[in-house]
Amino acid sequence: MLTVPYLFIEAFQSSEDYYSRPFYSSIVRLLRFTAYFISVFSPAVYVALTTYHQEMLPPAMLYSLAAAREGTPFPAFVEAMMMGIIYEILKEAGIRLPRPVGQAVSIVGALVIGESAVSAGLIGAPMVIVVSLTAISSYVVASISDTITIMRLTYVLLAAFMGLFGIMIGAAGFLTHMVSLRSFGVPYLAPLAPIVTEDLKDVFFRPHLWSECKRPKLIAKENIVRVKSDSMPKPPENNS
């Protein structure tokens, strides 16, 4: 099904949210935002931390990271780029292959590349963890996983050159772009920027259905009332 306008937050609102009760749905929705940020930023942050900002890591973690990267031939940036590209190749191959052969891709991906690259000392184990975490997280918000891929590789590049500053200036650049987009006349980041206070309740949390008595303001311009406002369930008045 195709709905327009397609806004950024719609990638985080799935239709199952509205069939289940609000509390668990809200948790899942926050989880989706977390997954989105993990899959966009984690390789870049890993590269930035291990290359530029070692002092930010707790000492114990720094030791184990350094021990794991001991003896690997490539800098963190090359590792991240290589694993990112290999993962994209695996993904693409998995889509193209006929189903009976599809199993082979996962075996090759998991065992040959993941396991043996580490044991052969080509790639550090933390990098494999980061890449697989990224890959899994990017499927949580599957509908924008294409932009996630582009952003992830760009951030890795920027982090390799300029560390956290690069990530942040890249984030500013991407935000500038996203803010300037419009989908069928509606700003792409609609309830977040420009802020529409009434619509913000359905962004990070899924509210009770009876409290959603108005339609999104920017989409339903005039026809804004969905149900009458006092539809909260309450006991009947003449209870006997």
Site residues, other proteins (CB under 8 A): 52-53, 55-56, 162-169, 171-173, 175-177, 179-180, 187, 189, 192-195
Question: Residue 28 or residue 196: which is nearer to other proteins going by CB?
Answer: 196
Q: Residue 185: left if φ>0, alpha if ψ -120 to 50, beta else—which one? A: left
Q: Classify 224 in phi/psi space as left (phi over 0), alpha (psi -120 to 50) or beta.
A: alpha
Q: Which is nearer to other proteins, 89 or 169 (CB)?
A: 169
38 or 128: CB nearest other proteins? 38
CB of 110 to other proteins, least distance (A): 33
Task: Quote the least distance from Cβ 230 to other proteins, whole Å.
Answer: 29
CB of residue 183 vs other proteins: minimum separation in angstroms?
Answer: 14
DSSP string, 85-115: HHHHHHHHHHHHS-HHHHHHHHHIIIIIIII
Instruction: Mark out the alpha helices in 1-75 (DSSP H runs).
Output: 22-51, 59-69
Structural contact between residues 201 and 31, judged by C-beta atoms closer than 8 angstroms? no
- 6 or 52, CB closer to other proteins? 52
Cα distances (angstroms) measured from residue 145 to each of 14, 140, 179:
15, 9, 19
Q: Which lies closer to other proteins via its Cβ, residue 84 or residue 163?
A: 163
How many angstroms separate the CA atoms of 50 and 72, rounded? 13
User: Residue 235 Cβ, how far from other proteins at the closest point, in Å?
Assistant: 39
Cα 102–108–110 angle (5° rounding)? 105
Minimal distance, residue 186 CB to other proteins, in Å: 13
* b/e sequence 65-100, b meaning 16+ C-beta within 10 Å: beebbeebeeebbebbbbbbebbeebbeeeeeeeee
Cβ nearer to other proteins, comparing 180 with 229: 180
Nearer to other proteins, 86 or 196 (CB): 196
The amino acid present at 58, given as its one-letter code, is: P
Tell me the closest approach of the beta carbon of residue 178 to other proteins, in angstroms: 9
Count helices and strands (H / E) in the chain: 7, 2
